[in-house]
Amino acid sequence: MRVLITGAAGFIGYFAAEALLTRGAEVVGFDNLNNYYDPTLKQARLKRLLAHDSFSFVADSLEKNGAVKSAVQSFGPQFVVHLAAQAGVRYSLAQPEAYIQSNIAGFLNVLEACRACRIEHLVFASSSSVYGLNTKLPFSESDKTDSPANLYGATKKSNELMAHAYAHLYGTPSTGLRFFTVYGPWGRPDMAPCIFAKNILEGRSIDIYNKGHHARDFTYISDVIDAILKVLELPPQHEAGRPPFDIYNVGSNKPVQLLDFIACIEWACGRKAIKNFVPLQQGDMVETYADIGKLAAATGYLPSTSIELGVSRLVEWCREYYGLA
């Protein structure tokens, strides 16, 4: 199996590459190692991947015309796993242009590369953010997603529409995965799980938005990778009146109250958090909850990592990576 992974030095991309390499795949990683968060962490992940003989790396940007297409043509992969994007809800309030360039223009370049090179299956990262202002819970793939709460969610919904159009026009088999709050070791330092764990270990305060009245469908990284691998070898097929395109939720199906999640981190750290309760942040969703029935029926997906175990592994990694007691 030959797989090109965009965002390979990112959190999910790193684990996806490791899993595929372990299974004997040849993998090319594509990433620009930008400084949205500390590139040192991305470089540390990349160093571990480069230790594999079957892994090679292309340092370039999605939005650069021809960059992705050149990488795909040179490698000749069967599959593309597109995980690179400008992430983060709050950053989109300050730097909206970055989201249009990376998530819209960049994704168009990925689609063009897959079309030109006749990729067997494109699996791409969408997000629970597409559900936006939807109040029906749990979120189902059949729910309307036309009321985004932030620009990040709007760009991810745009990706789904663009991929659908390419599947219809050119027959490019594509599957979008709506990830729900992915966490774990080697995680993004701009996301709440890593911020909370690191700050609590360091004895620094944590900001708790909406005064803690949030709930999230926290999904451990190994369960997310299991979903990616299952879906990758299950390309959607042409059906009567339907292009080869599909969408799946990837979550734990067990939303956790934010204060309960913090309590779990406190337990794993062996110390109490210094809590700073602040109002709801503009663009935030109050609750996420994934209906994973469709993915389970198609692939047998069953998330198995408890919050207690996942948080313990996250805290253990934070202690080791950041040298914290």
Catalytic residues: 152
| CA atoms within 13 A of residue 38's CA, in its CB half-sphere | 11
DSSP string of 224-271? HHHHHHHHHT-----BTTB-SEEEEEES-S--EEHHHHHHHHHHHHTS
Query: What letter represents residue 228's amino acid?
Result: I
Task: Establish whether the linkage from the previous residue to 148 is cis, with ω within 30° of 0.
Answer: no
Kindly write down the DSSP assignment for every residue of 173-228, as one continuous string: -EEEEEE--EESTT--TTSHHHHHHHHHHHT-EEEEGGGG--EE--EEHHHHHHHH
For the chain, give the number of residues.
325
Structure tokens at 23: 């299974």
Q: Can you tell me which residue has the tokens 């990592």?
A: 305
Q: Which two tokens stand for residue 176?
A: 């979008």
